[in-house]
Each structure stands twice: as structure tokens, then as C-alpha cells.
A and B are shown apart, each in its own frame.
Chain A
Amino acid sequence: MVITKKVRTFQTVFTYLVLLSFAVYCLFPFLWMLDTALKPPVEVMVAKPTFLIKAPTLANFRHVLVDSAFMTYFRNSIIVAVFTTLLTVTLGVFASYALSRWSQLKLTKAVSGALLVSQMIPGVLLLVPLYILMRNLGLLSTYAALIIVYCTFMVPLVIFMLKGFFDGIPRELEEAADVDGCSRLGYIFRILIPVSIPGILATSVFAFIAAWNEFMFGYVLINDDARRTLTPGILIFKGAHQTDWASLTAASVMAVLPVAIGFIFLQRYLVEGLSAGAVKG
């Protein structure tokens, strides 16, 4: 090759330097969050903070779990995220099957266009009418309000992700199933879904993370502490005047945990699925 060994060594060292800087840049805030969460409050409020913890403690976590509404928020977030995921992926499977199977129909093209356009319409601009709609339906401060809204804003992307997987399944599979007397629903449930499980799983994790992380609608549509989800809940932790940073970081660590586990579990699928979606736009 043209490149000499010396140049290559320099390139490798330089690459590692860049990657290491990025790793520090991305990880450092989390390490500091974890570090603060494990410190007793006297060590948190100091003018010269260090990573060193003199008396590591889990008291902050216990304080958050026992003395605050954290568990309620956490449970609400789980409920909302799980049902959003189930609903979105169920609707998404049928819609993207139809998109993939009958791509020539005018109806399909119209729906596909509508999905693309609605993906571009920002939620914050619809905040007011959606608030009024939910108030008129009597759904303010209910799980249903959040589940329906999250599903609407997520379903276009979920459909396009699933369609990517369904497009890869050969048409002959369905024809063979039809010859064997398998109905369309039978084909979807017995063949299409089992064959695309990795894709459906990746899409589900994506939907779950998006629902878990959403803030604005949770903040506006829920006014009852018993129904509040975690992201607005954590903001409330930050009192108006004096913030208890030890508790706040402990709550943050626990709020990130489900997302982190889901992400590590399916990192590869997610990265591939997202980049496929991103390239397509």
C-alpha cells in the first residue's frame, strides 16, 4: 500500500485520541451523576468537589424510593411506556404490512404521504388543541391521554422502521402460505411476525425508549401527582430555591436504568435500524 508504517501508527494514535476525547465528553456527566448519587449530602455541597467519596452511601437512593413519589412516577412511566409500545407496534404491524404488500395502491401512496407529512409536524405547535381535546374528552390526567398522543406521534416512524423489515421478506412465503390454505391473518400471526421478531423487538425498544423519555406532553396533560410520569416528576424534584442534588442525581440514575438496560440489550439492532431509517429520511 501507499501508506507507510509510520503514518499508519500516527493515524491509529490520533484516532484513539479523538475517540477517547469523545468517550470522556459523553461519559463524564454520567460518572459525575453516579458519583454525586453515592455521596452523603455533606460531601455534595462543597466548594471544591472531587470524584473521591469519603463515606459512600446508598442513603440517597433509599431517601428517593421511600420518602418521595418516585415509585409512583416510575410505575406510571412503566404503564404508559408499555401500553404505548404495545399499541403502536400492533397498529404499526398491520399498517406496515399493508404498506409493504400493496405498495402500488393509490390508497397506500396517500397513507404513506400522510405519514411522512405528519412526521414533520411538531408536537409543540399542536400542544394547545391537544390539551383542549383531552380536556373535552375528559382524559386530562389519565394514562389514556398520554398513550394515545405518544402512539400518534410515534406511529409514523414505527411504521417506516417495520416496513423496512417486512420489505425484506420474500413474497413467495405468503404465496406458499396461501396455497396451503393459510388465511391472511394466519399468515401475519404465524409467519410474518415470527420471521420478523428481531425487527419488531428493535422497533419496540425504540418506541419504549421514546415514550419513557418524553417530557412535554407528560408535563402538560397530567396535573395529578398520582398519574404523573417520571420525566416531569424529576423536574418537580428540583425545588424552586434549594435543590437536593444528592437525591436528584439518585433519582436520575434510577430513571436512566431501564433505558440503559434496554439499550445495551439491543444496541446493535437499534443502531442498524436507526441508521437505515436515517438514511432514508
Chain B
Amino acid sequence: MTTMNTPLTKDKAETGRSSKIKRHPAWTALLFFLPVILLLVLLIAWPLLSVLLQGFQYVSLVDPLAGGFAGLDNFRFVFEDEGFLPALWNTFVWTGLSVSGEYILGLVSALALFQPVKGRAIFRGIIVIPWVIPIVVAGLNWIWLLNPDYGIINSWLVDIGWLEQKRDWVGSIDTSLLTVTFVNIWRSFPFYTIALLAALMAVPKDLHEAAALDGAGAVRRFWVITMPELKAVSTVLIVVHIISTAINFDFIWVMTQGGPLNASETLPIMIYKYAMQDFDIGAASALASMTMSILAVGFIIYFYSLKRRRGN
């Protein structure tokens, strides 16, 4: 309690008043936070702990007799699963391609929206649309657009001669993951647009004008003034999206369920299948812990490099 009392007196000194509640801001604050703290503990902290623990136990969703300490059995089971390494590779491909594609489209669209032309607001509204609709609707609608028999995109591609015959984009082993990635980019890039546009608006105008007077061309101004100003936002955007893409379940599940023949299976899909199809909670928890560790290691490297760069 001593820790809470120190700022209490400070707060009182700041306002210089002493009504009843203000003497105990820590308690009032605790009361206001309480429901949120309860939710975080019960639905995030505790489940997180149980995932980490259950990775070392035999647990089954349907067989109550299964139990006991499993040591590293679950981890060995996951490693020896033929699907594990391909799924890990798919997760890297899916995340890397999605985030780079989203960033490029987001940057180009933000730069275009930043130009002083009429009707910008309308274009901004249109560009944000894919991001607002449910993933299920986006995924199913693209399956329909790419349908091998009746899809309009196949029909057009054949008409203009880019394709000899219609292809099953979603359902073929060699294209399924790339197709889902393409659709994910389509739906997710508008968020980058909004964030980068906001950052562009924050760049001081006179910086550009001064550089232009000094004879710097548009391309040079972009690399010397605009990009450095976007660096902070870009880093946050990319880090946040690497996480949210790597653990995304919805898109792949809706469009391919990890198929055909596990060609588009990523780690989250594997976790789901272990738990909800094989009912093997131990293996699902082991894989979830490993995924979390990979993300955590990535995070630590990111923060470490950030710190070192700042130190220099």
C-alpha cells in the first residue's frame, strides 16, 4: 500500500483540495479499473498460463481419463508431425508476402490521396471499404470471383489471353496460399492507407517548399523528407501487422480450411485442427506455446535492435 500512498499525497498537493474521494484516488481508480482487470485476468492471463502449462500435460477434450504430466511428449509430437515444417514455412510466406504487399499498396494509395486533387474524400471512402466488411464475406466473395467454372475473373483472363484455360485458383496446391494472400492484401491494405495518410499530413509543409526551392525534385524529396517522417508509423504498422497476420485464422479457414492437402496450412490452422478435430489439447497447447515463443523472440530482437540504434 505504501506504493499507492506516495502519489496520493502528490495528487492532493497538485489540486490543493481535500474532498472525501480525492483523498483516496488510488481506491477510486481501482474501483473504476476493477471490471477490466477482472476480464483481463480471467480471460487473458489465466488462459495464457493454462496454455503454457497444458503443453506439458496429456489433455483431451473428449477423454476425461487422459491426463498426467507429459514432459516434452507434446512438443515431440508436434515436431514429428509431417505437417509442421510446411506449416511453419507457409506461415512465413503468408506473413511476409501479405505485409509487404499491404505496405506497398498502402503507401502508394496514401501518397495519391495526399495530392491536392478534387474528390479526395470520396476516393478515401471507397478505398477504406474492403477493410470494413467481414472477413467471411470478403473471402467467400473472392472465392466466387475466382470460381473455376462461373467466375468472372477467370473468364476475363481467358478473354484477354493471359490464361489459356480457366484455373482453380483457390483449390490448386500451387496457387491456394498465394490466392488467399492476395485476398488478405486486398482486405487489409486500407488500414495502412489511413495510418500513412495521417502521418503524411503531419509532415510540415514548409520542409517540402524549402527543399523544392533548393532544387530537390519530387523523387528526391520523397526519399529525403517524406520517408524519414513515415519511419516511425511504418515500423509500428509493420510490427503490429506481422503479429496479426501470422496468427490470423479467419482468412485461411474461410477460403481453404488449410487445403488442398495442407497446401495453405499455417500454424493457427494447425492449432485449431489439433484442438477441435483431433481433440488433443496437449498438442494444441504445445503448438500455441511455440508460436507464442517465436513471436516473443521476434519482439525481443525488434526491441533490442531499436534500443541499439537509439544508443548509437
Residue of A nearest to B122 (CB): A23
Chain B residues near A234 (CB, 8 Å)? 134, 136-137, 140
- Report whether A215 and B135 are in contact in the complex, using a CB–CB cutoff of 8 Å: yes
Total count of chain B residues near the partner, CB < 8 A: 105
Q: How many angstroms between the C-alpha atoms of A151 and B190 in the bound complex?
A: 25
Q: Does B133 contact A (CB under 8 A)?
A: yes
Q: Are B44 and A155 in contact (CB under 8 A)?
A: no
Chain A: number of interface residues, binned into ranges: 35 or more
Q: Are B144 and A95 in contact (CB under 8 A)?
A: no
Closest B residue to A87 by CB, please name it. Answer: B35
Write the B104-123 contact mask toward A (1 if CB under 8 angstroms, else 0).
Answer: 01001100110101001001
A45, B130: Cβ atoms under 8 Å? no
Taking A32-B145, A278-B194 as contacts, is the C-beta distance between A104 and B126 under 8 angstroms? Answer: no
In-complex Cβ contact of B155 among A49, A124, A259 (8 A): A49
A270 CB to closest chain B CB (Å) equals: 8
Task: Report how far A120 CA is from B195 CA in the complex, Å.
Answer: 19
Considering the chains assembled together, what is the distance between the CA atoms of A259 and B128 in angstroms? 12
For the complex, is B180 an interface residue (Cβ under 8 Å from A)? no
Task: Tell me if B261 counts as interface (CB < 8 A to partner A).
Answer: no
- Whether the Cβ atoms of B40 and A115 lie closer than 8 Å is yes
Determine the main DSSP class of A at the interface with B: helix
Q: What is the 8 Å Cβ interface bit string for chain B, positions 234-252, against chain A (1 contact, 0 not)? A: 0011001001100111100
Contact residues in A for B93 (Cβ distance below 8 Å):
none
**Are B43 and A97 touching (Cβ within 8 A)?**
no
Closest Cβ of chain B to A163, distance in Å, is 12
CB–CB A215/B250 < 8 A: yes
**CA A36 to CA B291, docked complex, whole Å:** 40
Given the complex of chains A and B, what is the CA–CA distance between A49 and B26 in angstroms? 66
Which B residues touch A203, using CB under 8 A? none
* A to B contact number (C-beta, < 8 Å): 273
Q: Using an 8 Å CB-CB cutoff, how does the interface string of A83-102 with B read, 1 for contact, 0 for none?
A: 00000000100110110011
Tell me if B263 is interfacial: C-beta within 8 Å of chain A: no
Pairwise interchain contact B194-A245, C-beta atoms closer than 8 A: no
Assess A256 versus B19: contact at CB under 8 Å? Given A98-B28, A216-B250, A263-B132: no
Q: Are the CB atoms of B288 and A106 closer together than 8 Å?
A: no
Q: What residues of chain A lie closer than 8 Å to B45, measured between beta carbons?
A: 118
Partner of A215 from B117, B127, B134 at Cβ < 8 Å: B134
**Of all chain B residues, which has the CB nearest A233?**
B136
Partner of A108, one of B29, B47, B135, B233: B29
Shortest Cβ distance from A248 into B: residue: B140
Chain B nearest CB: distance from A235 CB in Å?
6
The verdict on B57 contacting chain A, using a C-beta distance below 8 Å, is no
Q: Does A44 contact B (CB under 8 A)?
A: yes
Q: Which residues of A contact B247 (CB under 8 A)?
A: 122, 124-125
CB closest residue in chain B, given A96:
B32
Q: Is B292 part of the contact surface with A, judged by Cβ < 8 Å? A: yes
Asked if A204 is an interface residue, CB under 8 A from chain B, the answer is no
- Given A115-B40, A121-B48, A256-B134, verify A102-B144 contact (CB < 8 Å): no
Find out whether the CB atom of A111 lies under 8 angstroms from the CB atom of B37: yes
Docked CA distance A213–B139 (Å): 12
Q: What residue in chain B is nearest A27 (Cβ atoms)?
A: B126
- Pairwise interchain contact A107-B4, C-beta atoms closer than 8 A: yes
Interface centre among A30, A125, A178, A213 (most CB of B within 10 A): A125
Q: Which of A11, A115, A125 contacts B291 (CB 8 A)?
A: A125
Contact B11 A102 (CB under 8 A): yes
Q: For A33, what are the chain B residues with a Cβ–Cβ distance below 8 Å? A: 141, 144
Among the listed B36, B46, B138, B186, which residue makes an inter-chain contact with A111, where contact means beta carbons less than 8 Å apart?
Answer: B36
**CB closest chain-A residue, reference B190:** A26
> Which A residues are CB-close (under 8 A) to B248?
124
Residue of A nearest to B292 (CB): A125
Rounded to whole Å, the gap between the CB of A181 and the closest CB of chain B is 10
A contact residues around B125 at 8 Å (CB): 264, 267
**Minimum CB–CB distance for A88 against chain B, Å:** 10
A279 to B48, CA, bound (A): 28
The docked-state distance in angstroms from the alpha carbon of A213 to that of B133 is 7
Q: Which of A52-60, A63-71, A129-137, A193-201 contacts B (4 or more CB under 8 A)?
A: A129-137
The answer to whether A259 and B26 touch across the interface, beta carbons within 8 angstroms, is no
Residues of B within 8 A of A267 (CB): 125, 128
Asked if residues A18 and B233 are in contact (CB atoms below 8 Å), the reply is no
Instruction: Tell whether A249 pairs with B39 under 8 Å between CB atoms, given A19-B113, A105-B26.
Output: no
Partner of A11, one of B17, B115, B194, B237: B115
Return chain B residues, CB-CB under 8 Å to A46.
150
Pairs across A and B, CB under 8 Å, 6 listed: A15-B112, A18-B108, A29-B130, A106-B4, A126-B51, A235-B254
Besides the contacts A184-B21, A248-B144, what 8 more A-B pairs have beta carbons closer than 8 Å?
A94-B33, A94-B35, A102-B25, A122-B244, A126-B47, A133-B42, A263-B128, A274-B191
